Amino acid sequence: MTIQSALATAGTAVAVLLVQTTVLPSLRPVIGVTPNLLLVVAVYIGLRHPSALGACSVFVLGYCLDTFAGTTLGFHTFGLVLVFAAASLASSTVRNDSGGPLVVVVFAAGCLEAVAAAGLFAFGIGGSAPWYDVLRFGLGQAAGAALCAPLVLWLVTRAERVLDVV
């Protein structure tokens, strides 16, 4: 990973984190669910940079999301690191330069995160909501994230072009 590529990905991640924690919650009454855009970034990092640095950056992103979103500390961190691990395992077989495969992988990773979150809630970790509501909401987040995946991929590639990575 070059410094320019890391800066482009980090800049996009910060922008996505700001949108995720400020703009999207106000749109939730209109669209019904808040798409997890950091899930897309975690999948992208897992596919493009499957290394210890990538894992650490996804951990920091999850921790920041937990801190700014006001959820149980470590909840999103666990989900995003799990998604990163799954994406990094698939990195040798999935193309990461086009939106189509990324949409499929993001939806599958979002479903994995939803099942993991529902499991945590079933054991009483993370809150008092019924696990089936958490699963239903998580699948909606996965679908929303998959729909937004091409936009996030465009933002990352645009930032890489600006920094002359590509």
30-63: pLDDT as tens digits = 877 888 899 999 999 998 888 899 899 999 999 9
CA dist 30 and 51 (Å) reads 38
Query: Packing angle between helix 75-89 and helix 37-48, nearest 10 degrees?
Result: 40
Q: pTM of the prediction?
A: 0.88
- All structural domains of the chain, each given as residue ranges with its CATH number in brackets, are 3-160 (1.10.1760)
CA dist 92 and 95 (Å) reads 8
CA dist 50 and 9 (Å) reads 13
Q: Which residue has the higher pLDDT, 58 or 95?
A: 58
Alpha helices (H) in 49-130, listed in sequence order: 52-69, 75-89, 99-122
DSSP 92: T
The SS3 of residue 163 is: coil
Q: Which residues contact 66 (CB under 8 A, 6 or more apart)?
A: 72, 73, 74, 75, 76, 77
pLDDT at position 93 is: 80
Q: Which residue has the tokens 């698939």?
A: 90
Q: Which residue has the tokens 């054991």?
A: 123
Q: Per-residue pLDDT for 83 more than 80?
A: yes
Q: Which residue has the higher pLDDT, 23 or 96?
A: 23
DSSP 131: H
Tokens of 55: 């894992």
